Chain A
Amino acid sequence: MDKMFYVKAALIALVTLLAAWLLVPTIYYFKLPADERNQPEKLESVLPAWAPPAKIRLNLGLDLQGGISLGLGVDTDTALRGKTTRRADELKAFAEEKGIEGITTSPDLSGKRHAVVVKAETPAALDQAKKVLLDYYQDMNLDDSDATSFRVSFDEREIQDARTKAVDQALKVITNRVDRWGVTEPIITKRGKDEIQVQLPGFKDPARAKDLLGKTAQLEFKIADDKGTYFADLFQRLLGAPPEGVKVETESEAGKTNQVLVLRTSRVSLGMEPTTGGLSPYLIAMGEQGADALAELVALSGMPLPEGREMGIECIPSKYKKNSCEGYRSYLLNAKAELMGDAIVDARALLDQGQGGGGRPYVALNFDANGAHVFERVTGENVGNRMAIVLDGTVNSAPVIQARIGGGRAQITLGSNKNYQELIQEANDLALVLKAGALPAPVTISEERTVGASLGPELIQRGGFAVAFGVLLVVLFVAIYYRVSGVIVNIALLLNALIVLAAMAAFNATLTLPGIAGFVLTLGMAVDSNVLINERIREELRLGKTLRTAIEAGYDRVFWTIFDSNLTTLFAGFVLLSYGSGPVRGFAVMLIVGILASMFTALVVTRLVFEWLVVGRGWKSISL
């Protein structure tokens, strides 16, 4: 046996062990009761220390575990129409600011156009307006003009950009809402150009989900009451007499001991932050269910919020998981909204290029005439206070008002204890939120799939039977047909199955019903490579070759055949992957992974076993 043999054997052993190891979290995942499978911390708590991280596992698709999947179409046309209409007002205002008199503007939304028609009373004013406006608004082009008017329209790039932003906003709004429901492991993804897919495993009420997701974003500006001691009083009262279900625990950190209220999975503590009015108390609830815990504590305490105040809740984003909160903090807000999102004309993230700005990102806001007026008054009255930006009832940020802000233009500078990338990201997010109030792109529900909880387990069981039956038949058939070499093929086949599942787990792929079908199908197709090889070896033997040379010739000659024929199926798999949605993608992934794994097991694993038998053990014949 040459050296390469041992290297290969070691490689195969390594792959096998690795595959088995990767499947450990999946096995524990399936062992959990169905209703606990979506709680990552449950899985983490039962996983042995040597196992891979809990997120490396196969997930059950919605079709197998029950839940709701919604396809939401974002109506980007409406957002664009809104943008065009607002731009028409802006153009007029800008022209007047530049001292051009007698300009009227109107949006032209006929057909698929997003244009503004500008009219002037005198030819001189028209020429001047044309020059000034086109000079300033680089994102608009001149379409046509006559003696009394001209028409400008957004250029194609700007339109595409606006559409993309509308979808991003909708995505942000939806993520924001879903986060508040306490649905575990929601999956919210963009699909295609203007669609969003929301998957809510275990969620049972489609009407409620549709209602919450379908409504237009609601953005409010509210003043925070930083002097209020409500949260401190509430916390003391709860510590003194914890209601049923709430435990008081003591934890120490950096030499200090803190008392904590524990409500189910949430740990609530009292925080103090320095504001202009002194130390302002707030509650902080760690855990994914923190938002609910805060609301529940207020209800349990029997201590109503002060008159005219309400609790605002802000998500503390998780460092480890995207679009997820590791906890929530509270704000004491004036219940009255000072300003609504429809007062915002535009919001964008910009970099401060001015002196000493150092390229710091900030968010620039424009208000409409009425909004500007209100904003000036409110900021004037509340210098030093914080203004909470509340989207759909969740506080998104609460900047301190530095000075009275007039002119309808405001800037929000972001906190500094973050790195540059994070700041830019935050500025973009905030601009999206603000714009969501300004340019709402309505979403329509284009697709809804609800799977009852009773169907999933049955499908898993039946799918399991079907796979076991199919695999058993294939294994039996191969063993009977090829005898000893059939056993070799079967070893490769089972290893193939192991690798496929492990690879799927490593990608954190989702197991769907068509995926199960794909799995058993790829196993059937995987035999093909071995059939090709074995048939070829038979042929070579018929030509009178020795077993050893026949095996070598067999493998060498069919390599390209196997390569060519598998590649075509791979093509089909990749096309399916890019086309399909949900369950069908699961099938495509199975197909692709299955083909790759089968090439490895057929060309490397079975060959090695043959070599071992013929060269190592000196076999002169093998039943083929």
Chain B
Amino acid sequence: MGFKLFSGETQIDFIGHRKFFMSLSGILCALVLLGIAIFGFNWGVDFAGGSEIEVRFEAPVDVAQVRKVMESAGFDDVTVQELGASEQNSFLIRIGRISMLSMADADKAKAGLTEKFGAGALASFDFNPAYGDKFEVRFQKAEREIAAQDVRETIEKATGLTVQDIHAVVGGYSVIMDGISAKVEQALQAANKQDGMAKAELRRVEFVGPQVGEQLRNQGIMAVILASCAILVYIALRFETRFAPGAIVSMVHDIIIVLGYFLVTRREFNLTSVAVLLTIVGFSVNDTIVIYDRIRENAGKLKGMNLASLMNLSINQTLSRTLLTGVTTMVSVLGLMIFGIGQLFDFAMAMIIGIVVGTYSSIYIASPTTLFLEDLRHDKAPPSASSGEGQLDDKALAAARKAM
């Protein structure tokens, strides 16, 4: 025989302690929600828009040091976060904007060109911040002989920025200015030369426009709500409608606690986090369903047993499975936590928290909520046998064992 978590069947009174655990969870959730309202999340670029740059240094560097370099380079809205535990000397630099060029810079460039080549020379000057660090300048027919080098020098002089690339288009030039990543790279190189800070390498650069960010965020919220609804409708159809609220409450509970992880640790909340939340939703309900399934099965066999005892019996019967599944799933993502970098580390960490909470809630929250709501209903109606205090009823249990 293999190992067993418990010898034989456990007889733990889960339901009897429901008031304590439901209050505890309730308070915890309230605190997290309050925290979210006050502090908000550390939204990643996926949702907040902006730029994100992953940098690795050749030798250990301090977070504050990196932030200082960025600030001295003129980025005032910068956040620097150290990447996952296992990844050495790697940082995530987040900057609120997506292009170096501002409207003011573009105006300066335009003014400079007008000054240099005459007021009537420019046929058009196009700058759109959404295109990134580039503008297109076209000249009147008579002025098309203007050389690229002149345009480059004029723009660099007028704006004080560096032109990265300039090439001819019909009637003029397309000018690409140095972008954020170039600026960051320069700042890091300068810090390396002057202050002897370790050499840095830009490994990943992401820009997300603010509109896309907002869109992604709304879609993310919709996705979680949609998945939850689909699951609940399924539960209501497959089981009884009165079971659905318990599943809802435990699912919402799990989501809130996992959100709490992102709230408390200030780790970045991004697209991967939404994937974690959705997986947790699936996992949590999965656990709950196994218990509900057993309640349904037992209810068929043990007619007359009150709901509380029925729930207690079912939770006990499925307890080792509930815990085992939790453990294997947790163990599987452990590797990601140990070897994982950045988003993988957060994925694993949040997932592990979700698994623990999901397991807990399917035992202590889902069924008790159903019972609680039943009690509320019956308080208004005349008392009935279908609910009662969560004491394990010895007679009923004995009957249960015989029946199986």
Binding site for B on A (CB under 8 A): 71, 73, 206-208, 210-211, 214-215, 218, 442, 444-452, 454-455, 459, 462-463, 465-471, 473-474, 477-478, 480-486, 513-514, 516-518, 520-521, 523-525, 527-528, 531-532, 535, 538-539, 542-543, 557, 560-561, 564-573, 575-576, 578-581, 583-584, 587-588, 591, 623-624
Contacts and interface: CB of A to CB of B under 8 A. Distances in A.
Contacts of A450: 181, 204-206
**Residue among A73, A462, A467 with most chain B CB within 10 A:** A462
A214 B131 contact: yes
Nearest to A531: B324
Given A455-B203, A462-B341, A525-B329, A71 B335 contact: no
Given A214-B134, A513-B343, A569-B286, A470 B204 contact: no
Interface stretch (B21-29, B110-118, B344-352): B344-352
B275 A584 contact: yes
Nearest to B87: A462
A486 to B, nearest CB: 7
A210 B297 CA distance: 61
Given A466-B339, A470-B336, A517-B333, A445 B206 contact: no
A591 B325 contact: no
Interface in B75-96: 86
A535 B329 contact: no
Given A210-B131, A214-B131, A455-B54, A462 B204 contact: no
A291 B13 CA distance: 76
Contacts of B223: 575-576, 578-580
B320 interface: yes
B212 interface: yes
A305 B147 CA distance: 24
Nearest to B84: A462
B404 A543 contact: yes
Interface string B193-225: 000000001111111110110001001101100
B95 to A, nearest CB: 13
A211 B176 contact: yes
B336 A520 contact: yes
A525 B318 CA distance: 16
23 contacts: A71-B212, A73-B211, A211-B174, A214-B132, A449-B204, A451-B203, A455-B204, A468-B335, A473-B332, A474-B332, A486-B2, A517-B333, A518-B275, A520-B335, A521-B279, A524-B331, A525-B332, A527-B329, A565-B289, A568-B235, A569-B283, A578-B223, A584-B271
Given A445-B209, A447-B208, A466-B340, A571 B203 contact: no
Nearest to A570: B282
Interface in B298-348: 317-318, 320-321, 324-325, 327-336, 338-341, 343-344, 347-348
A528 B335 contact: no
Interface of B: 1-4, 8-9, 54, 86, 128, 130-134, 136, 164-165, 169-170, 174, 176, 179, 181, 201-209, 211-212, 216, 219-220, 222-223, 226-227, 230-231, 234-235, 238, 271-272, 274-275, 278-279, 281-283, 285-287, 289-290, 293-294, 297, 317-318, 320-321, 324-325, 327-336, 338-341, 343-344, 347-348, 351, 404
Contact of A571 (B128, B165, B234, B287): B234
Contacts of A538: 4
Contacts of A469: 334-335, 338-339
B2 A485 contact: yes
**Residue among A73, A449, A471, A486 with most chain B CB within 10 A:** A449
5 smallest beta-carbon distances between A and B, as pairs: A524-B332, A469-B335, A569-B282, A470-B335, A572-B282
Contacts of A208: 165, 176
Binding site of B, secondary structure by majority: helix, strand, loop or mixed?
A: helix
Contacts of B272: 514, 583-584, 587
A275 B211 CA distance: 53
B286 A565 contact: yes
B203 A454 contact: yes
Contacts of B231: 568, 571-572
Given A446-B208, A455-B54, A575-B278, A481 B3 contact: yes
Binding site of A, secondary structure by majority: helix, strand, loop or mixed?
A: helix
Contacts of A474: 328, 331-332
A517 B227 contact: no
A469 B317 CA distance: 31
Nearest to B179: A207
Nearest to B330: A524
A445 B286 contact: no
Nearest to B293: A561
B328 A521 contact: no
Contacts of A524: 328-333
B339 A539 contact: no
Contact of A470 (B211, B220, B281, B331): B331
Given A561-B289, A568-B289, A571-B282, A471 B132 contact: no
B278 to A, nearest CB: 5
A477 B28 CA distance: 32
A579 B1 contact: no
Nearest to A571: B230
Contact of B207 (A447, A561, A566): A447
A42 B129 CA distance: 41
B338 A466 contact: yes
Contacts of B9: 539, 542
Nearest to B209: A446
B212 A521 contact: no
B333 A470 contact: yes
A285 B174 CA distance: 31
A465 B335 contact: yes
Nearest to B202: A452
B222 to A, nearest CB: 7
A560 B234 CA distance: 13
A208 B289 CA distance: 53
B238 A564 contact: yes
B328 A527 contact: yes
Nearest to A205: B165
